[in-house]
Amino acid sequence: MAEYKGTIGILTGGGDVPGLNPAIRAITIRAVREGYKVIGLRRGWGGIVDMVRDKEADNSNHFQVLTEDIVNRAGRTGGTFLHTSRTRPSRLPGALVPPHLRNEYKEDINDLTPEVLKNLEWLGIDYLIPIGGDDTLSYGYRLHTEGFKVVAIPKTMDNDVPGTDYCIGFGTCVTRTIELTHTLRTTSGSHERFLVIEVFGRYAGYSALLPTMAGAADRCVIPEHPFDIDQLTELLVYDRGRHPSNYSVVLVSEGATILGDDEMSFEGHETDQYGHKKLGGIGDRVAALLKEHSPKYNNGRRINVVNQRLGYLVRCGDPDALDSIVPMAFGNLALDLILEGSTGRLVSIRNGVYDSVTLDVINGPHKVVDVQKYYNADRLRPNYKTFDRKPLFIMTSDM
């Protein structure tokens, strides 16, 4: 048995993705064998906020001690067995302040960071490994600035965390998008329609661009380039006419905007604790407009549309091969950093090589598609050139 070296806390925040459980498994197994105790913090930052610092209190809903047996059972599955939330401890609405703290925190918006630090100390956690997107990790950086030892792991379907070419969940997102788009082709071809598929991507168009590059779609529209609906309609009519089954396909990033729009399309006006409104609806708008504009480019005849939002279908279920392998490597990278005493870091992949960068990168701009390099704005599709010496996913995190 290795000599005890300290206690590591793990949490998963934001949206679930396939690959979170493999990352938790990799961290735990390596950490236990190196001599660390591992504690899983439940429901993202929510568990550590709601905790009661009393040995007699029932905190089973807020944390659990992790063992090899526990993580082995979950490590091959999707989602996160630690559960997740979009809790932001530094801007917690008064209604979400735990009952035992309401006498002290009475504002409409409250910063519970002092309680978070006390709770981490009460649990005896020496190092914290948050796994999440830029929102979750931005609070991890806040704790780092408060002096806590943090090593972060990037995950998001959108692949837009700065400082890394790859985020956990992206491979499965691309794989599922390709599979589901090909599945929907049979209906589109049978009815000779346009196929409009809305995919993930608030700020970055990687989850539309890569599947299109792989042949899943004829065209794609991405957040980085507002598109003209007439241009898209004309191109899709052209594609449809060249296809033996008389249909064509476009992938639409959820954050894409039509030329002239002031903002993205949202399901409503309510925001989460990080200030984000829930995206959704651009696919519906594009579908309706394509139907309306199609006669102009199709000899006066309207073309109907098959319209589908993939949404949770690409983030549920088991991870693909890449999202089983990369989380394993990221988890071990995090332990390497802890063992060498290097914290305030984000594990990463840069130009196809595993690495790490300083965690303050999370405060920079979102990683987005370089339109000039990777997107043909005249053709509304990826550039299919300059692949020599490019990494696996072609588009890097360099701005």
171-311+371-382: same fold as 6-168+319-363? yes
| CA angle (305 as vertex; 304, 307 as ends), nearest 5 | 160
Q: Which helix (H) or strand (E) holds 224?
A: none
| Residue whose C-alpha is closest to residue 247's, from 301, 193, 326, 166 | 193
Task: Spot the catalytic one: 50, 126, 158, 239.
Answer: 158
What CATH number should be reported for the domain whose range is 6-168+319-363?
Answer: 3.40.50.450
**Per-domain residue ranges of the chain:** 6-168+319-363, 171-311+371-382
- C-alpha 147: how far from its chain's center? 27
Cα(5)–Cα(242) distance, integer angstroms: 65
What are the backbone angles phi and psi of residue 291, rounded to the nearest 5°? Answer: -60, -40
pLDDT at 76: 83
Query: In sequence order, which residues have a C-beta less than 8 Å from that of residue 292 and are 6 or more positions away?
Result: none
pTM for the full model? 0.93
What Å distances lie between residue 63 and 38, 46, 82, 158, 183, CA to CA? Answer: 10, 10, 8, 28, 41
- The 3-state DSSP class for residue 152 equals strand
- pLDDT at residue number 386: 75
220, 236 Cβ separation under 8 angstroms? no
Question: Quick check: helix, strand or coil at residue 150?
Answer: strand
Is residue 229 within 8 A of residue 290, CB to CB? The reply is: yes
Residue 392 in this model has a pLDDT that exceeds 80: no
On average, the pLDDT of the chain sits at 93
Q: Which of 397, 298, 305 is nearest to 346 (CA)?
A: 397
Output 260-266 pairs: Cβ under 8 A, ≥24 positions apart.
260/226, 261/226, 264/202, 264/223
d(CA 49, CA 28): 23
Percentage of the residues of the chain whose pLDDT score is greater than 70? 94
State residue 399's pLDDT score.
44
**Phi, psi of 136, deg, nearest 5:** -60, -45
Is there a contact between 306 and 195 (Cβ–Cβ < 8 Å)?
A: yes
pLDDT tens string 262-286: 765 556 556 666 555 555 589 999 9
* Span 20-58, pLDDT tens digits: 999 999 999 999 999 999 999 999 999 999 999 999 999
**Dihedral in degrees, nearest 10, Cα atoms 186, 190, 194, 198:** -30
Q: Is 355 among the residues known to form the active site?
A: no
Instruction: Pick the closest to residue 134 from 106, 155, 110, 108 (CA basis).
Output: 155
Percent of the chain residues topping a pLDDT of 90: 86
Q: Which of 3.40.190.120, 3.40.50.460, 2.40.110.20, 3.40.1160.10 would CATH assign to domain 171-311+371-382?
A: 3.40.50.460
